[in-house]
Amino acid sequence: MWKIYKLHTSIDETPKYIGITKGSLSRRKRQHLYDLRSAINGKLSPKTKWMLEVISNSENIVITELFKFESINDAQSKELELIETLPNLTNSKKYKTHITEWTEEDKVKFQTHAKKVYQFSKDGTLINEWVGAKEVERHIGYCHSAISKCCKGIYRSYKGFYWSYSLNIDHLLKPFTHHNCKKVIVEDIYTTVNYSFNSVEEAANFCKVSKSTIKSAAKGIIKIVKKQFKIKYYEQK
The pLDDT of residue 106 is 52
- Output phi, psi for 45, to 5 deg: -80, 165
Count H helices, E strands: the chain?
A: 9, 9
What CA–CA distance (Å, rounded) separates 210 from 218? Answer: 13
Percent of the chain with pLDDT over 90: 24
Confidence grade of residue 96 (pLDDT, cut at 50, 70, 90): very low
**Contacts of the segment 219-224: beta carbons below 8 A, 24+ positions apart:** 224/189
**At residue 162, does pLDDT exceed 50?**
yes
pLDDT (mean) for 177-198: 81
**At residue 22, does pLDDT exceed 80?**
yes
The pLDDT of residue 99 is 37
**Contacts of the segment 67-73: beta carbons below 8 A, 24+ positions apart:** 67/3, 67/4, 68/1, 68/2, 68/3, 68/4, 69/1, 69/2, 69/4, 70/1, 70/2, 71/2, 72/2, 72/127, 73/127, 73/128
Give every CB contact of residue 34 below 8 A, 6+ residues apart in sequence: none
**Strand 61-69 with 117-120, pairing:** unpaired
Residue type, 27: R
Question: Which range in 26-40, 90-104, 127-141 is most confidently predicted, on average pLDDT?
Answer: 127-141
The pLDDT of residue 183 is 87
Number of CB atoms found within 10 A of residue 236's CB: 4
End-to-end CA distance of the chain: 50
Confidence grade of residue 95 (pLDDT, cut at 50, 70, 90): very low
Give every CB contact of residue 201 below 8 A, 6+ residues apart in sequence: 211
Confidence grade of residue 32 (pLDDT, cut at 50, 70, 90): confident
Give every CB contact of residue 76 below 8 A, 6+ residues apart in sequence: 20, 139, 140
**At residue 15, does pLDDT exceed 70?**
yes
pLDDT (mean) for 48-58: 77
CB 197 within 8 A of CB 206: yes
